[in-house]
Structure 1
């Protein structure tokens, strides 16, 4: 699996806006925003943002869907 990249986040008041390739992917508010900021200090920010936005599954899922074994 590739390394997530091109994510960035901005803190606006009490919310965190996460962008991917310059487009807003998600906005975290309240407890989720606070938890996110705490986790960013201790881990890989790119991986964390990919997981929060749901944009981390970019492996072979698309190819596997078309495999004859998975055909219905």
Structure 2
């Protein structure tokens, strides 16, 4: 799920590839609150996964985001 998330962050949200690392915090990756809203919409649109931006904001790192997305995708 990490590669899928990375692809969305780079190609859809236009974040810098070098900043997207599993251990990077949301802030280091460039994920501010607006980006998290956009990510929530992208996950719904592209993957059919419903995760609120508030839930995404609870994730501390990019790896945590990928884990959350992976957990939610198995429920779909």
TM-score tier (shorter): 0.3 to 0.5
* Greater fraction of residues in strand: 1
* Greater fraction of residues in helix: 2
Specify the structure having the higher radius of gyration (Cα).
1
